[in-house]
Structure 1
Amino acid sequence: MRLAITHDTRYRYSPWVQTAQHVAHLQAADTPCQTVICHAMQIAPEASVQHSIDAFLNHRAYWALTHPHEGLSVRAYTEVETRSVAAESLLASAQQSWEAVRAQFRYRGGQPGDVHAGMVFGSHHAPVHAAFARYAQSSFTPGRSLAQAAQALTARMHGDFHYATASTDINTPALEALQNKRGVCQDFAHILVACLRSLGLPARYVSGYLLTQPPPGQPRLVGSDASHAWASVFLPELASHACQGWLDLDPTNDRCGLASPGLDYVRLAVGRDFADVSPLRGVLQGKGSHTLEVAVTVAALRG
């Protein structure tokens, strides 16, 4: 499937900002499930952009605005070809128990480290806490495979939690969202990551996009989509496969898949939580207020 993504961000400042430095994660990377055909970013006011790869192998862009400005506009346009890397039979063959994986990532002095071990520890938005472990426990019964347990937890969250736009923001703690059983995809991803880590399992946060479909008989609205977020858990027994061992889990839509939940998903960046992969953040000089507008359009292309 070929998808085109337009991600528009507009800030307006009052009074004007004197100087600013910005970091963006708006360029998708090639993965086992996707190939980036083209990517372009337009910034106003114009700036010289520096590109680099961060610690999680995400594309990162940096620029500085050294003169007063009343706003910032960033448009990122990307075309991506998505594909499937594995059949359901491969996922069904993943039988390593969750307890065995937990034991593999338990710290032992003098033992060689594992590059995925950093995803076991809690982070600001996805902390390790007994409340997350208690919620997850009924899905992680003794001897159950990690793959089956993680999918069961994803499905249970989909049934237990209510998607409520504007009910939370990035400052809402994951524990609060867990208690209230409501939030948006970002909250659900943080909760799922926190549940897995609280059981001693390596899990990461994934930011990206999802092709959404309008109700039957209604036209698709340009800009009606938004950035999406989901989680993934590491299955060591599949590390040598094209999926690199990662099983993606989307509790918002109860979708799961190796390396991607489906052909209609585009992965943008991965990290410990949202703080690692924020689409756009910055440091501004000048006190005042600002308004923010974000519009994301994901469209399927022919051919």
Structure 2
Amino acid sequence: MRFRVFHRTRYVYRAPVRDSYNELRLRPATDDKSRLEFFLLKTDPPARLQHFRDNWFNYVHFFELPEPHTSLTIESQSTINTTSPYQDGKPLGVNFAALKTEQDDVVRIFLNGSKYVEVSPEVWRLGIDIRDGRDDVFEVAESVMRHIFREWTYAPNTTNASTHMNEVMETRRGVCQDFAHVMIGVCRSLGIPTRYVSGYLYNGPESHLRGAQASHAWCEVHIPGKGWFGLDPTNDVLADERHIKIATGRDYHDAAPITGYFDGPPGATSALQVALEVRRMDG
């Protein structure tokens, strides 16, 4: 599928702020399943954009605004072609014993707890119940996805960007970020390397997918000998060509679309406005 994405984030401050520093993970990822044709990023007030690759190989832009300003607009446009990782079917047939024999340091880091994910005994017990003795890694990961979709309630405005997975385990309510964190925790507790993915979701005219109105989140599990494969517990679907990957990491902290800070007087908090359009350009 070929998409054009427009994403605008605007902050309006109650008083002038200065010395604003921001990191942006907004450039779509490029790999064998996604080809970036065009990308444009701009800010208002204008800023000199620089970039680097972070520890997770995400493409990160950053900029500083030392002068006082009362608003900040960040706007990105991109055109990208995507292909489903599941064109050749699901990566079935790999058992749990393989998880212990094929892991390098890059993969092993996604087995541990992280800022918003805890691999606790409670989570492990839930994972064991969901696994129910089965030995196919991807089949079990799918079962975790279905369980979260079935047992958790999609409830916008009940959590925020800093909500920990433990709170979501208790309330069983949240949004795509929370569903991804819970699935990551459960899969890691079973020994399945799992990472967080931020990006966009195309919700076609005949689709009824949740989370397409803003930046979306799902997760990817690593299947030995086959690679990373995405699952979307918010919608109980495989992450296919409708999912446009931007960044990956251990959890939201590593892959947040925009992070930053500024200096300003007390009460100079910001109001946030977000506009997103994902338009299909073929078919």
Alignment TM-score > 0.5, same fold: yes
How far residue 286 of structure 1 moved from its aligned partner, in angstroms, is 1.2
Identify the match of residue 213 of structure 1 among 199, 204, 212.
Answer: 204
Identify the match of residue 214 of structure 2 among 226, 243, 260.
Answer: 226
Residue type at the aligned position of 2:126: Y
Q: Distance in 1 between matches of 2:9 and 2:106?
A: 34
Name 2:172's counterpart in structure 1. Answer: 181
How far residue 201 of structure 1 moved from its aligned partner, in angstroms, is 2.4
Residue type at the aligned position of 2:195: R
Name 1:97's counterpart in structure 2. Answer: 95
Q: Secondary structure at the match of 2:130?
A: coil
How far residue 182 of structure 1 moved from its aligned partner, in angstroms, is 1.3
Name 1:159's counterpart in structure 2. Answer: 150
* Structure 1 residues 182 and 88: alpha-carbon distance in aligned structure 2, compared to 1, 3 A threshold: farther
* Structure 1 residues 89 and 265: alpha-carbon distance in aligned structure 2, compared to 1, 3 A threshold: closer
Name 1:299's counterpart in structure 2. Answer: 279
Q: Secondary structure at the match of 1:237?
A: coil
Q: Secondary structure at the match of 2:225?
A: helix
Could you tell me the percent identity over the aligned residues? 31
1:20·1:282 contact (CA, 8 Å) conserved in 2? yes
Name 2:120's counterpart in structure 1. Answer: 129
Q: Distance in 1 between matches of 2:174 and 2:86?
A: 31
Identify the match of residue 250 of structure 1 among 210, 232, 254.
Answer: 232
Q: Which moved more, 1:178-187 or 1:126-135?
A: 126-135
Residue type at the aligned position of 1:34: S
Residue type at the aligned position of 1:170: A
Question: Is 1:139 equivalent to 2:130 in the alignment?
Answer: yes
How far residue 6 of structure 1 moved from its aligned partner, in angstroms, is 0.9
Residue type at the aligned position of 1:227: S
Q: Distance in 2 between matches of 1:299 and 1:171?
A: 30
1:193·1:203 contact (CA, 8 Å) conserved in 2? yes
How far residue 214 of structure 1 moved from its aligned partner, in angstroms, is 5.0
Q: Secondary structure at the match of 1:115?
A: helix
Q: Distance in 2 between matches of 1:161 and 1:132?
A: 14
Q: For residues 98-138 of structure 1, what are the alpha-carbon distances to aligned partners after superposition, in whole Å with 9 as ceiling and x for unaligned?
A: 2541x3479xxxxxx53211111110111211222122222
Q: Secondary structure at the match of 2:181?
A: helix
- Tell me how many residue pairs correspond in the alignment: 277
Name 1:272's counterpart in structure 2. Answer: 250
Residue type at the aligned position of 1:198: S
1:231·1:248 contact (CA, 8 Å) conserved in 2? yes
Name 1:172's counterpart in structure 2. Answer: 163
Q: Distance in 1 between matches of 2:255 and 2:90?
A: 30
How far residue 202 of structure 1 moved from its aligned partner, in angstroms, is 1.0
1:119·1:272 contact (CA, 8 Å) conserved in 2? yes
Question: Is 1:236 equivalent to 2:218 in the alignment?
Answer: no
* Structure 1 residues 100 and 83: alpha-carbon distance in aligned structure 2, compared to 1, 3 A threshold: closer
How far residue 199 of structure 1 moved from its aligned partner, in angstroms, is 2.2
Q: So what's the TM-score if we normalise by structure 1? A: 0.86
Summarize the alignment of residues 62-101 of structure 1 with structure 2, pairs less than 5 Å apart.
62-89=62-89, 91=91, 94-101=92-99
Q: Distance in 2 between matches of 1:8 and 1:134?
A: 42
Q: So what's the TM-score if we normalise by structure 2? A: 0.92
Consecutive unaligned residues of structure 2, counting only runs of 5 or more, are none
Name 1:286's counterpart in structure 2. Answer: 264
Q: Distance in 1 between matches of 2:218 and 2:102?
A: 22
2:144·2:186 contact (CA, 8 Å) conserved in 1? no
Residue type at the aligned position of 2:95: S
| RMSD of aligned alpha carbons | 1.9
